[in-house]
Structure 1
């Protein structure tokens, strides 16, 4: 009985213990429906987050991720448009292309702008194209070639890789330029950049993880650049380059008087434009841009020099057109003109101690008589002389397409007053215009400065009968302005120039000029020898001429020899050799070789 009682009590105690535990251990909200609500809430929140993320990935940002995905398996290759050729007037290449290859690889500094390296044909063939690093590939491209080398470099120009600064300029970005592209840097290459460059094509390809192309998905063909035909004559340019003395500095311009078309525009020293088609070493760069002889400087259009006696053509024209000189005007050559302590001599008197008596305008041009032109300048007056010089293109750019043309300088009293006003003491100022200044200006000395191109322009005015033609490197129709000059003025100056290239004149290398013993070519010319303040008394050598001459200009009867080449002038030639001596000795022989090349064709 005792045992039964004890067992029953134990059971009752255990039941109470369990009941007490359940009552105090589990919260009420955890029991029954509260626990189910919590689980349901968590489930719905999880599903909402997952659903929103799925919505974001598929609908909101789906396009972005699809593009990224496609980018991992596709690549856009650029198919470079061939740059247009530059041709001479006969269709010969002045600039053309040869195929090369670009190695494109990711750039560590900027993944958006890959690094490029130009490969030669040999480099491309030696390249293991099956084992390129990831992200590296090869594009076909073109290398610029200039067959004439240095013969026409300042006109044709060259191309160079676009810079980072240029790529940041909207002008280039909106036109689709990319890193590694090459653009015109000089001459026709930069003038006609928009027409020459063409439009690159594109090819969309599928690639594997290792970067190898598996198939082409789409293609837009490249549009080649436009071919440009210039007025230049490649053969004549090469002959002009060969005729210029090695080591001398200067320029040659050959043009067609009736249109202003440039056949030759050559500067010495020059440079081989082909070196810019490859990467330049520092030594090569320094040899071009830090060379004291300035091979990159276009002396033909940007160099300014005292024109010397070639300017007498301007003085003669001003006097005749103003009616202050005629064909009958006579001035006595006294050897010197003395003004106070200053002596203004004629070259013939200074060199040989001789005078030439009474001189008219034809003889003055034939003999380049300084005394005649001193006095002519005095009669004309500096105001009239300056006005006519400016009408002929002096003192302002004449308008050739190539950038960098200099204006030159035609001085007058107002210019001198503006220029020489630094000292405050009136007595120390040298701003007064003196008669001696007019004398110097009348013979192309003193403050007068012109470019070789400007000398060629006013030579053409005489050659074509009085039209001012804008010089051009384009093969185009005439762009000339009729100056409405008197025929008598042109005839008198032409006669004086014709006699300058005949026995008794100053252009002795061109006496009896012809292409062989049997065929002669009549021409008109003017020599020039200009001082420029050199401590060794060196002078610039000038020569300007045009040929042939019409038959009516050759004899009083208006008849020409049957073995003469006659007609309207086909070309004018202007030559400058810096610091070389006299025009007849140094510049005229160069012009002769160019004329021989032209008329022997």
Structure 2
């Protein structure tokens, strides 16, 4: 009898479970469909926290705040970190690292599915999905160096970049003036263009900094060697055109017969005109492109410019004009139509500093990348003797008799190159203006930093840009 009763109880339980399943699948299904039609089931979105961006030492560069993203470096980090804004569905990166790494930083939003009454009041929670925070990013930046670099530019239009020549890691990247990331609207029509990243998007004539490429090309193509002497005549005349050395133009003096080391030390234009003449534009352009000119470096930031390395085909296509010997001469000293970004000049300098390596500049190392950063570098197969001669000339630039007088008696051996780049129409009201450049690496015998300074329309590189680089290097080595 007990067995019969037990069998009946089991049977009734099974019928009860079946009835509940039918109710859920059929009756409740209609109920939930009705709720949905009446807009009584709603999804309340739970935004995900964006990942935090850190410097190389683990110092946070931004953070999430109730009112939005809070940038701890303010204007000093604005053009490299970027900013965020409201997208269609969520907060999104609008510039800088915030934009480039938006997919990694933004995370995945969660949500709460709720039932509401006809007045929209929540009756009950049906389901919940927790948000997944974005990935934190550790950058190659040094927050202290970044802040110092911005302070040294003092609001002047320009850019300053510091990098590790052995890996391509960017230690500081500043464009000036900067902006406050929380007040973008006020800068949209600012004539000083604070939203424009001059460090990677500004393309300028490089002036005498380009002589590093010309020297490399002439030595590698065996047009000169360490013993080659060229007479400084003060001026070269080609038909009705004259091409003079800066020293002759300013002081009416010449420097006699000089070799490649002395030519770099004194930034002698006559010597480099002759190198351009010996090389020809095609060999010079090929070497410039081998250094990366005319192509983006591939830095992990949006909006990078490629620069320009003109040659006969370029001039015919762009200007509808033929190429002349004079075009080659001025190209050899970094003038004419050559354009480089401050980042490209920094990278060019890094090739010499790293004994011939071309390292892709980067701000965030790839996942699983080597700790040394060598994954970003490739050898350009430049003869070590070429690197040695150019480095010797650059060291002498910063010593007595060189063009970088602010570095005379500097505590650390520095290899540098000044640049004073003419731009604009000399016959116009703004003619005769020059950009000030200085690019260098230190210590000269075992470099751990490359610094490049550009100041728009500021004058001579030795007087304007070199002191900025000196102060930044002083700060850098004071912490070593």
**TM-score, with normalisation over the residues of structure 2?**
0.88
Shift of 1:162: 1.1
The answer to whether the Cα contact below 8 Å between 1:149 and 1:274 also exists between their aligned partners in 2 is no
**Pair member with larger Rg:** 1
Provide, for residues 405-443 of structure 1, a one-character-per-residue CA deviation record: whole Å limited to 9, x for no partner: 11111111122222232xxxxxxxxx2221111110000
Residue of structure 1 equivalent to 2:458: 580
1:594 to 462, 472, 475: 472
Instruction: Establish whether residue 521 from structure 1 lines up as the match of residue 412 from structure 2.
Output: yes
The answer to whether the Cα contact below 8 Å between 1:401 and 1:472 also exists between their aligned partners in 2 is yes
SS at match of 1:363: helix
Give the whole-Å Cα distance in 2 for the aligned partners of 1:88 and 1:273: 18
SS at match of 1:584: helix
Residue of structure 1 equivalent to 2:436: 541
Provide, for residues 96-143 of structure 1, a one-character-per-residue CA deviation record: whole Å limited to 9, x for no partner: 102x3xxxxxxxxxxxxxxxxxxx5xxxxxxxxxxxxxxxxxxxxxx2
Shift of 1:68: 3.2
1:343-492 residue pairs with structure 2 within 5 A?
A: 343-421=242-320, 431-475=321-365, 477-478=373-374, 479-492=376-389
Shift of 1:60: 8.7
The answer to whether the Cα contact below 8 Å between 2:99 and 2:302 also exists between their aligned partners in 1 is no
Give the whole-Å Cα distance in 2 for the aligned partners of 1:511 and 1:152: 31
The answer to whether the Cα contact below 8 Å between 2:423 and 2:431 also exists between their aligned partners in 1 is no
2:33 to 45, 64, 67: 67
Residue of structure 2 equivalent to 1:296: 195
How many residue pairs are counted as aligned between the two chains?
A: 444
Residue of structure 2 equivalent to 1:81: 48
Shift of 1:218: 3.2
Instruction: Establish whether residue 330 from structure 1 lines up as the match of residue 229 from structure 2.
Output: yes
Give the whole-Å Cα distance in 1 for the aligned partners of 2:298 and 2:198: 16
Shift of 1:325: 1.2
Give the whole-Å Cα distance in 2 for the aligned partners of 1:308 and 1:76: 60
Shift of 1:210: 5.3
Runs of 5+ unmatched residues, structure 2: 1-23, 367-372
Shift of 1:76: 3.0
Give the whole-Å Cα distance in 2 for the aligned partners of 1:59 and 1:388: 74
Give the whole-Å Cα distance in 2 for the aligned partners of 1:76 and 1:412: 61
1:26-425 residue pairs with structure 2 within 5 A?
A: 63-69=29-35, 75-98=42-65, 100=66, 143-163=68-88, 178=89, 181-207=90-116, 211-213=120-122, 215-246=124-155, 248-275=156-183, 285=185, 287-421=186-320
SS at match of 1:315: helix
**TM-score, with normalisation over the residues of structure 1?**
0.71
SS at match of 2:61: strand
Q: Give structure 1 regions of 4+ aligned residues with deviation exceeding 6 angstroms.
A: 58-62
Give the whole-Å Cα distance in 2 for the aligned partners of 1:72 and 1:483: 65
Shift of 1:203: 2.3
SS at match of 2:203: coil
Give the whole-Å Cα distance in 1 for the aligned partners of 2:249 and 2:147: 39
SS at match of 1:383: helix
The answer to whether the Cα contact below 8 Å between 1:159 and 1:185 also exists between their aligned partners in 2 is yes
Q: CA RMSD in A?
A: 2.0
Residue of structure 2 equivalent to 1:531: 422
Provide, for residues 268-313 of structure 1, a one-character-per-residue CA deviation record: whole Å limited to 9, x for no partner: 122111335xxxxxxxx2x312222111111111111110000000
SS at match of 1:274: coil
Provide, for residues 233-291 of structure 1, a one-character-per-residue CA deviation record: whole Å limited to 9, x for no partner: 11111100000033x21111111001111111111122111335xxxxxxxx2x31222
Give the whole-Å Cα distance in 1 for the aligned partners of 2:271 and 2:281: 16
The answer to whether the Cα contact below 8 Å between 2:236 and 2:243 also exists between their aligned partners in 1 is yes
Residue of structure 2 equivalent to 1:106: none
The answer to whether the Cα contact below 8 Å between 1:89 and 1:475 also exists between their aligned partners in 2 is no
Runs of 5+ unmatched residues, structure 1: 1-57, 101-119, 121-142, 164-177, 277-284, 422-430, 514-519, 551-567
